[in-house]
Chains A and B, each alone.
Chain A
């Protein structure tokens, strides 16, 4: 589904990603773990096309197309979704308007008919059950006054509505208590199909108890230094990121 080759990226002239290689196939869940400042969130932002990041080398192919050549909204139309670590608040604009605007632009880009308000609302209410969101959130301004947990649930609701092929979850567990974490993870799991894929970016292993990855990659200083199965996450949890650094030193 997505093939990342030797990806280098800068922000403000500083190199953050220094040669990422990663292939994700349909039906897979990949976890990207790493210490603070390793470039995890940068990778998520670069894949979604944040204009502040400059790709200096490498390529990203999504379903056979050059992803880096696309504007962020075109990536969304193609099926890439980013669940934000810090979702943006949009006062004055209802959640339903926001979601409907996005969904209909995506549908239009695919030559599908736009949904009218009735059809959309019916679908939205179904999707809200996935993340156990109250109907009152339909007409509330986007993320405004939402708690940390509500914001993250709203991100997963957006994912449920937009039905991406590739979902990138950026530190979705940060700021969540255990109950919210369970609801959010259960939502992500319900949305998993053999046709879509998920990249979970996280610092802690905790989230991976609920969203079980097929592959775990450890990112240090802008490079994937170790890959393995879900047991790698357990190992990191037990020993911290230091043991990776030691391994790197020994092999150096």
Chain B
């Protein structure tokens, strides 16, 4: 699956960035935001069903 490969790559690069710059704050924020995105993306595909139900 292409998308998993790219998620892995992105996380690896985020980790590399944090390591290089000692910017550890980046990791939790990046993960939080990625999870949020998941919600948003999922939100946009299941939204019609949410509407039909509620």
Do these two chains really belong together in a complex? no
Which B residues fall within an 8 A CB radius of A?
none
